[in-house]
Amino acid sequence: MPRLLLLRHAKSSWGDPGLADIDRPLSPRGRRNAATMAKAIAAEGLVPDRILCSPSRRTRETLAALLPYLAGEGRVSIDPKLYDSTPGDYLGAISRSGSDAGTLLVIGHNPSIQAAAQLLIGDGEPGLAAELAAKYPTGALAVVDFGQANWSRLDPHSGFLAAFLKPRDLDPADGDDDAED
């Protein structure tokens, strides 16, 4: 059964207003949150076979925090279509690049990652879909399971939302202010 992990990049820094959006790094809190999520992914046995990542600096830094916790480091692809994109671009990337992965991790941006999750989820643990629809904070991870075995044939609302992990839930000292994304 295919499993899709949709990870929004960790909190980024707005400290240098001269940087282009694609070049914004993670904030100190973002680096902590990325490490927290990496540990949770490993502890929950959610290690991906394949990883698709936006080319932005903040998504690549989120990925870098994950790699030490992923046994065997899944095959990684940087996909330009995951930056400044639509939910349809996310679904296209999944369809094109999922190939033989049992677990596929996509690291991207809001609002597209949230909208893609909502489009794919048909059922799930009670309350999680509403929580995801209300807010998809930086560093959050949606775990979506599918009954069909082919990434290229994902139908809308065919996934089961098995989990929705947020840095704040894993580390209560973490704030939940996403004024800066």
Residue pLDDT, tens place only, 96-116: 988 889 999 999 999 999 999
SS3 1: coil
Residues 174 and 137: their CA atoms lie apart, in Å, by 12
Look at residue 100 in the predicted model and tell me its pLDDT: 84
Q: What is the DSSP letter of 153?
A: G
Instruction: Give the helix/strand (H/E) hosting 8.
Output: strand 3-8
Task: Please report the sign of the dihedral spanned by the C-alpha atoms of residue 57, residue 131, residue 81, residue 122.
Answer: positive
Residues 15 and 181: their CA atoms lie apart, in Å, by 12
Q: How many other C-beta atoms can be found within 10 angstroms of the C-beta atom of residue 149?
A: 10
- % of the chain with per-residue pLDDT over 90: 77
- Domains of the chain in start order, with CATH, are 24-170 (3.40.50.1240)
pTM over 0.85: yes
Look at residue 180 in the predicted model and tell me its pLDDT: 45
SS3 106: strand
Instruction: Give yes or no for a contact between 63 and 76, defined as CB atoms under 8 angstroms apart.
Output: yes
Q: How many Cα atoms are found within 13 Å in the side-chain-facing hemisphere of 159?
A: 26
User: Cis link prior to 111 (omega < 30° from 0)?
Assistant: yes
